[in-house]
Chain A
Amino acid sequence: MKKSATLLALAFWMAAACALAADTIVFGAAISITGKTAKEGEYTRDGYQFAIDKINELGGIKVGGKTYKLEMKYYDDETKPERTAQLIEKLINEDKVNLILGPYGSSPTGTAAPICERYKIPMVEANGSAESIFSKGYKYTFMILSPAKLYLRGIIDAVRSKDPKVKTVAILGENESFSKEVAGGAAEYAKEKGLSVVYDELYPTNAQDVSALLTAIKGKNADIILGSGHLQDSLLIVKQSKDLGVSPKAMGFSVGPSSPEFRANLGKSADYIFGATQWTEALKYNGDDPWKTPKAFGDAFRAKHPNYKSIPYQVAESAVAVIAYQKAIEKAASLDPTKVRDALAAIDVMTYYGKVKFDSRGVNIYKPMAAEQYQPDGNKYTVWPADVAEKPPLYPMPAWDKR
């Protein structure tokens, strides 16, 4: 009796699974819901889900006369790249998802890419901008983002627009693939613009004390301090700079300031600090997608998630990955992974997020990076590029003890 009940349940489950598979496109993702980048992982998941819900609300995706609803199946990769790889393999093999959405972070993306390549399942990733991922000739991985080495350029440009004579820059970065590329790109660009890089070092992941690095930087009197790590690193660097009285003329970070938690954790200490950003609501794009403009996207997202005051760029870039799939699937008129892949390779579309078009490696080099700054009136403004800036950048940053 018990056995037949189990069998019956199994039969129902299989029927349900088949019904589901029949008119649903399932995206698989391994996202850091816990671990070091748990917060960014949350943004990523919310962004994916927001776009999926929106497309479903508008009727779904039409493929050859048949309409499909979208669905996401995700697991927590615990911010462990090796776990990401296992989960992607599970999603493809056991869960039989149709397509893959990228994890959060360059290292997990780097381990997910070869798996997708092996099974020839495309992955559009929105949160791993290290170009090293794309130097291996993968054909199935596509990056929505501007690549890592461009991250801090906007901040350097913003500072130079206020002070063309600015001379020295110190760079400290987390020792992992994305942050290393950000730091390397910033150093290269600074030198190109005639600045001298007086300090350029990496600290280990999960550092809980960077006073040693800041002490060395203090001795070099750098005009600009640039940090390339993640949110917690940027908070640590600001806190300890204040502790140690390290007061450069400008301070900026690749990741951190874009998150609302930056202000929440630093209060007034966040003032004058620059943040690199892939996207802000202030940018003026007019795209061909359900929201069309950055502002409309921001408003729609806030309406659904009232706990977000400002929209972190991770949300916007994650959502646009789903939009890229929508466009590609419609164009391919097929769910065959290889055909979707080919459509992605040829995509050229303007969105609320900026232009989405990939070079031969799968990197979106067609969208610029912007810079934001926290200002003493309590708000964060887009300050670069100048033509879309909400306010001019404030410079120099007053010393910690003179505020």
Chain B
Amino acid sequence: MSSAELGQIAVNALLLSGILALVALGFSLVWGIMNIVNLSHGAFIVLGAYLTFWMYAIWKIDPFVSIPISMAVMFGLGYLIQRSLINQVIRAPLLATFLLTFGLEILIVNLINYFFKADTRSVQPAYSGTGFTLGPVRVPYIRLGALFVSLALVLALGAFLNRSRLGRAIRATGMDLDAARLSGVKVATIYGLTFAIGAALAGAAGSLLSTQVAFDPNLGGPYTQRAFVICVLGGLGNVVNVLIGAALYAVIEVVVGSRLPALSQAVTFGILVLLLIVRPQGIAGKGFY
């Protein structure tokens, strides 16, 4: 392996881990706080991608500029979905929430399919495909931008959870429901907000992905899978764990992919199984935020 290739592999892994961290961030939050494995997370990502696509196609809004808009829309939608649907099964066994979010995923995907058809789309601003070179290594602008946005959102969520009153209430609810309730936290509102933030982050991930990969209504499924693996690898409990999980996932996928691409997913999931046996809480995680 030449040093040029090695450098490129390192850059590829770094860029990939950024976007994957954002993909998993909202998923991890909802899982950690509400104990809901949100199988419709991928569908929210797809919605984010479509929002950015339409804003670009109709009003020529730059995909990076449309991120806050797509987050706001998804925040609202996430809140509504939580209060109207998820809240009905919040105390039900895990299987019920699985079924509900799984059903929701199918519903959203089929609605998108119905309204927008199965057409494959992508957002291509003028700077798409351009980049700069560092010696023999090439760094595309869009992926670099996506890395920065992802890191900024990860850090922002971390700061919000640790420093703000609301963030601490969210964490308290995840740690001990009864104690939080006794201290005057309105759990229903907190759950609604947590789910809404998760959906908003999925929306941001979708907006960024729309510039990197061609997507159709079925883009989400594989990303729900990835988010799940990343959460298990890194563990719940802290936004930094999401970064660790995403970095690990990206390194495995890119390094194995550069030599034995056909095995990259097998290796990733192999490590997942191994980790579940030896360290089920993840590399750095605990059971809650």
Q: How far is the CA of A277 from the CA of B265 in the complex (A)?
A: 30
Query: Chain A nearest CB: distance from B113 CB in Å?
Result: 6
Given the interface contacts A39-B118, A243-B140, A269-B129, does A34 sit within 8 Å of B257 by beta carbon? no
Q: Which of B120, B213, B255, B261 contacts A204 (CB 8 A)?
A: B261
Q: Does A267 count as interface, using CB distance less than 8 angstroms?
A: yes
Contacts of B113 in A (CB 8 A): 33-34, 38
Question: Across the interface, do A206 and B120 meet the contact criterion of CB distance under 8 Å?
Answer: no
Query: Chain A nearest CB: distance from B41 CB in Å?
Result: 15
Question: Across the interface, do A212 and B222 meet the contact criterion of CB distance under 8 Å?
Answer: no
Q: How far is the CA of A157 from the CA of B271 in the complex (A)?
A: 43
Q: How far is the CA of A33 from the CA of B118 in the complex (A)?
A: 8
Q: Does B164 count as interface, using CB distance less than 8 angstroms?
A: no
Question: Across the interface, do A265 and B258 meet the contact criterion of CB distance under 8 Å?
Answer: no
Question: Across the interface, do A239 and B16 meet the contact criterion of CB distance under 8 Å?
Answer: no
Q: Which of A39, A201, A215, A235 contacts B5 (CB 8 A)?
A: A215
Given the interface contacts A39-B120, A41-B118, A219-B4, does A213 sit within 8 Å of B261 by beta carbon? yes
Contacts of B8 in A (CB 8 A): 215, 218, 244
Q: Which of A33, A35, A39 contacts B119 (CB 8 A)?
A: A39
Contact with B along A213-232 (1 / 0, CB 8 A): 10110110000000000011
Q: How far is the CA of A33 from the CA of B121 in the complex (A)?
A: 17
Contacts of A206 in B (CB 8 A): 221-222
Given the interface contacts A42-B117, A265-B120, does A212 sit within 8 Å of B110 by beta carbon? no
Can you name the residue of chain B whose Cβ is closest to the Cβ of A245? B138
Question: Across the interface, do B216 and A236 meet the contact criterion of CB distance under 8 Å?
Answer: no
Q: Does B122 count as interface, using CB distance less than 8 angstroms?
A: yes
- The residues in B between 230 and 287 inclusive whose CB is less than 8 angstroms from any CB of A are 253-262, 264-266
Q: Does A12 count as interface, using CB distance less than 8 angstroms?
A: no
- The residues in B between 31 and 58 inclusive whose CB is less than 8 angstroms from any CB of A are none
Contact with B along A158-176 (1 / 0, CB 8 A): 0000000000000010010
Can you name the residue of chain B whose Cβ is closest to the Cβ of A173? B262
Given the interface contacts A232-B216, A236-B214, does A213 sit within 8 Å of B258 by beta carbon? yes
Q: Does B158 count as interface, using CB distance less than 8 angstroms?
A: no
Query: Chain A nearest CB: distance from B117 CB in Å?
Result: 7
Query: Chain B nearest CB: distance from A378 CB in Å?
Result: 16
The A interface is mostly helix, strand or loop, or mixed, namely helix
Q: How far is the CA of A38 from the CA of B118 in the complex (A)?
A: 6
Q: How far is the CA of A300 from the CA of B142 in the complex (A)?
A: 42
- The residues in B between 189 and 225 inclusive whose CB is less than 8 angstroms from any CB of A are 212-214, 216-218, 221-223
Contact with A along B8-34 (1 / 0, CB 8 A): 110010001000000000000000000
Pick the most buried of B122, B133, B214, B256: most chain A CB atoms within 10 A of its CB.
Answer: B214
Question: Across the interface, do A201 and B213 meet the contact criterion of CB distance under 8 Å?
Answer: no
Question: Across the interface, do A243 and B213 meet the contact criterion of CB distance under 8 Å?
Answer: no
Q: Does B2 count as interface, using CB distance less than 8 angstroms?
A: yes
A-B contact count (CB 8 A): 129
Question: Across the interface, do A203 and B264 meet the contact criterion of CB distance under 8 Å?
Answer: yes
Contacts of A79 in B (CB 8 A): 218
Contacts of B118 in A (CB 8 A): 33-34, 38-39, 41-42
Q: Does A202 count as interface, using CB distance less than 8 angstroms?
A: yes
Question: Across the interface, do A203 and B261 meet the contact criterion of CB distance under 8 Å?
Answer: yes
- The residues in A between 256 and 297 inclusive whose CB is less than 8 angstroms from any CB of B are 259, 261, 264-267, 269
Question: Across the interface, do A212 and B9 meet the contact criterion of CB distance under 8 Å?
Answer: yes
Question: Across the interface, do A243 and B131 meet the contact criterion of CB distance under 8 Å?
Answer: yes
Contacts of A264 in B (CB 8 A): 119-121
Question: Across the interface, do B254 and A38 meet the contact criterion of CB distance under 8 Å?
Answer: no
Question: Across the interface, do A261 and B120 meet the contact criterion of CB distance under 8 Å?
Answer: yes
Q: How far is the CA of A358 from the CA of B193 in the complex (A)?
A: 62
Question: Across the interface, do B133 and A265 meet the contact criterion of CB distance under 8 Å?
Answer: no
Query: Chain A nearest CB: distance from B84 CB in Å?
Result: 25
Question: Across the interface, do B213 and A211 meet the contact criterion of CB distance under 8 Å?
Answer: no
Q: How far is the CA of A185 from the CA of B202 in the complex (A)?
A: 41
Q: How far is the CA of A235 from the CA of B212 in the complex (A)?
A: 10
Q: Does B109 count as interface, using CB distance less than 8 angstroms?
A: yes
Query: Chain A nearest CB: distance from B267 CB in Å?
Result: 10
Question: Across the interface, do A235 and B120 meet the contact criterion of CB distance under 8 Å?
Answer: yes
Given the interface contacts A219-B2, A265-B121, does A38 sit within 8 Å of B218 by beta carbon? yes
Query: Chain A nearest CB: distance from B22 CB in Å?
Result: 14
Can you name the residue of chain B whose Cβ is closest to the Cβ of A212? B257
- Could you list 11 A-B pairs, sorted by A, with CB under 8 Å? A38-B113, A42-B117, A79-B218, A203-B257, A212-B258, A239-B212, A239-B213, A243-B140, A265-B124, A266-B124, A267-B124
Apart from A39-B216, A204-B264, A209-B16, what are 13 other A-B pairs with CB-CB below 8 Å? Answer: A34-B217, A35-B218, A38-B118, A202-B261, A203-B257, A203-B262, A204-B261, A209-B254, A211-B16, A219-B5, A231-B214, A236-B213, A266-B124
On A, residues with C-beta under 8 Å from B are 33-36, 38-39, 41-42, 79, 172, 175, 201-204, 206-213, 215-216, 218-219, 231-232, 235-236, 239, 242-245, 259, 261, 264-267, 269, 400
On B, residues with C-beta under 8 Å from A are 2, 4-5, 8-9, 12, 16, 109-110, 113, 117-122, 124, 128-129, 131, 133, 138, 140, 142-143, 212-214, 216-218, 221-223, 253-262, 264-266
What 6 A-B pairs come out closest when comparing CB atoms? A212-B257, A38-B118, A242-B129, A235-B214, A243-B140, A212-B258
